[in-house]
Structure 1
Amino acid sequence: MEKVIAALWAPAGESRADFGGRLLQSLPAALAGAGASGIRLNLRDAVVADADALVQQWQAPQQDAVVQFWLPSANARFRGEIDALLGRASARFAAWLVCESTIIANTAHPAQAGQRTPGWSQASFISFRADMTRAAAVAHWHGHHTRVAIETQTNFEYVQNLIVHPLTDDAPAYDAFVEECFPLEAMVDPAVFFDAIGNPAKFEANLAAMNDSCAGFIDFSRIDVLPTSQFDFSPATQSA
């Protein structure tokens, strides 16, 4: 099995809300019918509007939604129906083959099939620093930053996806996709985000540690960070 992540852009004239609603109603079932499994939608809807200040942007226009899923093979020879579905559902899509690592599984607020997962999901498309080798960036990310991200935040789900290679010709040149779920309050309260409610000293320490660690491997001029609502359609949640 291979995991695919696709960024989706809304057609001109269709609001982000209408685009997300349409995807939610039709895309997961269509992808499942074409052989995809473990389907997850990340939508930029009204629930996460309060997190707009946390958006970081490289692409213009920026992605309006993300869909994640697994295929028996992501080889283009077997992906025709999937690509056609994504193309019909959006004005543009870009897709990548990724290697997934679940750092923190969501056991605190388990997803229910087809329902919005509690809290909110920060979906981050990141690029590594140009002055580092890929091996050095991955070593910092996995060997140092992972610990920092666990210890300094209130993330109750944390999934790292290392991009193996793009699957579409015009896919932005990202190196990784990261999804982290937080309590709703973390959208507007940095002390909640950095697990430091009522403790200014801890907040400053956690913020500094996170900023320093991110600067150690991320090119901030080539990232897109999106606040999203997560909708999971995976078999694991369907059988719960």
Structure 2
Amino acid sequence: MEKLIYAVTWPADADTEELSTRLRGPVADELRASGARGLQVNVSDSDVASATLRRPPSGHRVDAVVSLWVDTWRDAVRGPLERSLLSMADAIAGWVVTESVPIEPSDPSPGERTPGLSNIAFIRRSEAMSHPDWLDYWHNHHTDVAIETQASIGYVQNTVVRSLTADAFPVDAIVEELFPIEAQSDPHVWYGSGGDQRELDRRMGLMFESCAKFLGPDVGVVPSSRFVMSSPFA
């Protein structure tokens, strides 16, 4: 089984809430009928409108992120899936990824919103590091720093294997971190510092120092609401 991730851009004049409902309704049904064994939808909707950290990856507006688990990424399988997404989108960009889950999110029943803020980061490798060294630092060193300095309630790391669409922007990994909903505008909640400014500064300093060692420039950040429509492991 393979995991595919698609960044979705709505039409400029779209009603975000209406398209979110459609994506999680009839389009989700089409995706499952076309062979998706698992489906997760992340939407940048009104519930995360107050998020202060928001940065289009490589200058590309991303309104939703769709994760699909399929038997194979072959064109014959992907074609119907991508056509369903394009039926409601201006553009999609897709990648095959490998998934690592340091902190399993606590998802409710299928189709319900997972509590909290789901922050999705599109990251690039630092050119100062080889790919093996980058993977080693990220997974075996930075992951511990991130867990120890932040109040994460979910942490999913997706390493990009290959791009799937012609216009996919450059990205080496797609990371999903979940926090209490108040974290979208309160750094003390994000970092779990309990309102202590010195502790917040300490935690942020450790996190930023670690990020600087392995991240390239132009990290894209998309705040979102997470909906697991169906699990491939159920």
* TM superposition score normalised by structure 1: 0.92
* Alignment correspondent of 1:2: 2
After superposition, residues 27-42 of structure 1 pair within 5 angstroms as 27-42=27-42
For the aligned residues, what is the CA RMSD? Answer: 1.6
**Gaps spanning 5+ residues in structure 2: where?**
none
CA distance in 1: counterparts of 2:57 and 2:119, whole angstroms: 16
> Of 152, 157, 160, which aligns to 1:160?
157
> Of 120, 134, 150, which aligns to 1:137?
134
Deviation at 1:216, TM superposition (A): 0.9
Q: Deviations over 1:104-140 (max 9, x none)?
A: 012xx43221011111100111111123221221121
> Of 224, 228, 233, which aligns to 2:229?
233
Q: Deviations over 1:31-87 (max 9, x none)?
A: 101010221000010000110x20123343411100001000012233221121122
* Alignment correspondent of 1:114: 111
Q: Deviations over 1:131-165 (max 9, x none)?
A: 32212211210121000111111111100000000
**Gaps spanning 5+ residues in structure 1: where?**
none
After superposition, residues 166-185 of structure 1 pair within 5 angstroms as 166-185=163-182
CA distance in 2: counterparts of 1:187 and 1:23, whole angstroms: 24
After superposition, residues 1-240 of structure 1 pair within 5 angstroms as 1-51=1-51, 53-106=52-105, 109-221=106-218, 223-235=219-231
CA distance in 2: counterparts of 1:119 and 1:161, whole angstroms: 20
* TM superposition score normalised by structure 2: 0.94
The one-letter amino acid paired with 2:90 is A
Paired residue total: 234
Over the matched positions of the two proteins, sequence identity in percent amounts to 36
More moved, 87-96 vs 54-63 = 54-63
CA distance change for structure 1 residues 110 and 83 in 2, over 3 Å: closer, same or farther? closer
CA distance in 2: counterparts of 1:169 and 1:105, whole angstroms: 32
CA distance in 1: counterparts of 2:55 and 2:211, whole angstroms: 14
CA distance in 2: counterparts of 1:193 and 1:151, whole angstroms: 12
8 Å contact kept, 1:62–1:224: no
8 Å contact kept, 2:107–2:228: no
Q: Deviations over 1:146-196 (max 9, x none)?
A: 001111111111000000000111101100000011101111110110011
SS at match of 1:62: coil
The one-letter amino acid paired with 2:223 is P
